[in-house]
Amino acid sequence: MTDVGRVLLVGAGPGDPDLITIRGAKALARADVVLYDELATGDLLDLAPVRAERINVGKRGHEEPTRSQPEINALLVEYARAGHTVVRLKGGDPFVFGRGGEEVSACAEAGIPFEIVPGVTAAIAAAAYAGIPVTDRRHAASFAVVTGHRDPSRATEQIRWREIGTAVDTLVILMGMRNITSLVGELIAGGRSPSTPAAAVMHGTLPEQQTCVSTLAELPEAVKEAGLGSPSAIIVGEVVGLRADLCWWERQPMFGRRVLVTRARAQAAELSGALRATGATPVIVPMIELAAIASGPGAEEIDRAVASVAAYSTLVFTSSNAVRFFVRALEAKRGSVGASLAPALRVFCIGEVTARAALGAGLPVHLIASGRGDAEALLAQLLPALSGDRERVLIPRSQIGRSVIADGLRAAGAEVDSVAFYENRRPTIEEADLRAQLKAGELDALTFTSPSTVDHFLACLDDESRAAAGRCMIAAIGRTTARRLEAVGLPAAVVPDRPEISAMIEELIGADWPAPVISTTSGPPMDGTRGGGE
């Protein structure tokens, strides 16, 4: 009989994937099956193993789910009984209007072991990202979180709106946008002043966040004019007035900017996360996909290099991808990395990111070439490190990697094997959608991390979308990529001194972006619109 698995009820947080707890991320990393709500982001789902089954159960606020609650409960029990580790990923905190109690009760009744991983609730996080503390000893010593799911005019409604409206200093209403007019009417009828500061925060904690500030009485009309809908958190109380000074998220340097990310999907997380931290919206459209060379003459060349790896005196890695595919091939053929290499082997890395990847894979790092990001300059740093004796050097690379470093080392007397361990392919994408976004001016900046991302991007465009691309801010991770952009008539405005994601983000932040406009007045115009002040 199959051993019974377990269910982990995990709070996904309010939207920003960086707000998931460490325990929640670890739970996803060991999942066999993930049942997720509509609000879960792709970045969070990527934390689960590739082999894990992902099932969208479709719950999004008060909208009708694609699966009923009894169906979800049954799936949890079914997969756990089959011996799987099941992660139930729920928006916010699973015990704050998330019906998490019902789900683990079903597990308890079925004898299924379960664990509860709390999450950051949107009730507090959305307000915080709007610069509104739910408590502040100058204004509020109490708060309540209430669901606005049900129409308060219904006789069966259990929430006593008139009483609760004056019972606490700050009132946070989740899932209340559909009934906002009647909710506000009940609160005022119960004695809450119509002039009480109030706000609605849509897509809280995300780069798409929009915040509408008004008085309680005017809030329904204000959110209508601003175009706010679900999911939104409604906040009522004097603390809303603190937003004028405490608003921080919408003042991030790239808030509201939509930035194209062309990296391979498996590698997009670092750049996407860094962009989100600045307030930007990453638009991931991978222009390359990387794959191991598994057959043909290329695979035979890899086998020969791996079989004789102990004979090399030096390894040169030009990218973290080269590290990853080399280590994967070595482990597949030889087992342990350390036991396969010569004790005196030296490892040279191009850039800090590549060095971190090598160290993380258990490889020693003896030299890091960094600075101006072209192969010629980096070769000049490698040459003095060569020993006087004739060296045998292995350079793992992609099938389209440049030969500058290999040729330079050969000219200095080294015996060099430059071996393609992986291939760089053009993936299938929705090209029409990309062209439409460019033509509509929906992309503020384009980022490129290799010449191949440039070539594959251009192959997707027609004349009109190519012209539109030229009106965007263009960023290249290094000089090699920048030269390719220059050659095709799309010169990069941003080229960092170091070929690293962090450096490119720093340069983007320092670029000539229009300042965001933050409204703190009652009623329209509203702040937090797309573009942050365009």
Specify the CATH superfamily of domain 6-120.
Answer: Tetrapyrrole methylase, N-terminal domain (3.40.1010.10)
- Give residues with Cβ within 8 angstroms of 248, minimum separation 6: 129, 131
Supply the DSSP symbol for 257: -
pLDDT mean across residues, the chain:
87
Q: Residue 427 pLDDT more than 80?
A: yes
For the chain, residues classed under CATH 3.30.950.10 are: 124-251
pTM, two decimals, is 0.77
pLDDT digits (tens, 9 = 90+) for 60-86: 555 555 788 999 999 999 999 999 999
Q: Residue 128 pLDDT more than 80?
A: yes
What is the structure's pLDDT at 86?
97
Q: Is 518 helix (H, G, I), strand (E, B) or coil?
A: coil
What is the structure's pLDDT at 233?
96
Per-residue pLDDT band for 530 (boundaries 50, 70, 90) equals very low
Is the Cβ–Cβ distance between 238 and 210 less than 8 Å? no
| Cα(164)–Cα(184) distance, integer angstroms | 12
- Residue 493 vs residue 376, higher pLDDT: 493
Considering only the top CATH level, what class is 258-288+428-509? alpha beta
Q: Report which secondary-structure segment, H or E, holds 274.
A: helix 268-277
Is the Cβ–Cβ distance between 174 and 200 less than 8 Å? no
Q: Is 99 helix (H, G, I), strand (E, B) or coil?
A: coil
For the chain, residues classed under CATH 3.40.1010.10 are: 6-120
- Give residues with Cβ within 8 angstroms of 188, minimum separation 6: 165, 194, 216, 217
For the chain, residues classed under CATH 3.40.50.10090 are: 258-288+428-509, 291-425
HSE-up of 256 (CA within 13 Å, CB side)? 19
Q: Does domain 291-425 have CATH number 3.30.420.10?
A: no
Q: Residue 326 pLDDT more than 70?
A: yes
- Please state the three-class secondary structure of 129-184 as a single string: HCCCCCCECCCECCEEEEECCCCCCCCCCCCCHHHHHHHCCEEEEECCHHHHHHHH
- pLDDT above 90 coverage of the chain, percent: 59
What is the structure's pLDDT at 156?
43
Q: In what order do the strands lie in the sheet with 415-425?
A: 289-292, 415-425, 392-398, 314-317, 346-350, 367-369
Q: Does domain 124-251 have CATH number 3.30.950.10?
A: yes
Three-point CA angle 463, 465, 469, nearest 5°: 115
Three-point CA angle 377, 361, 10, nearest 5°: 120
Q: Residue 528 pLDDT more than 50?
A: no
Q: Which of 231, 256, 235 is nearest to 246 (CA)?
A: 235
What is the structure's pLDDT at 121?
95
CB-count exposure of residue 91 (10 Å: 0-12, 13-18, 19+): buried
What is the structure's pLDDT at 532?
28
Active site residues: 37, 59, 175
pLDDT digits (tens, 9 = 90+) for 331-362: 887 776 666 676 778 898 888 888 888 888 88
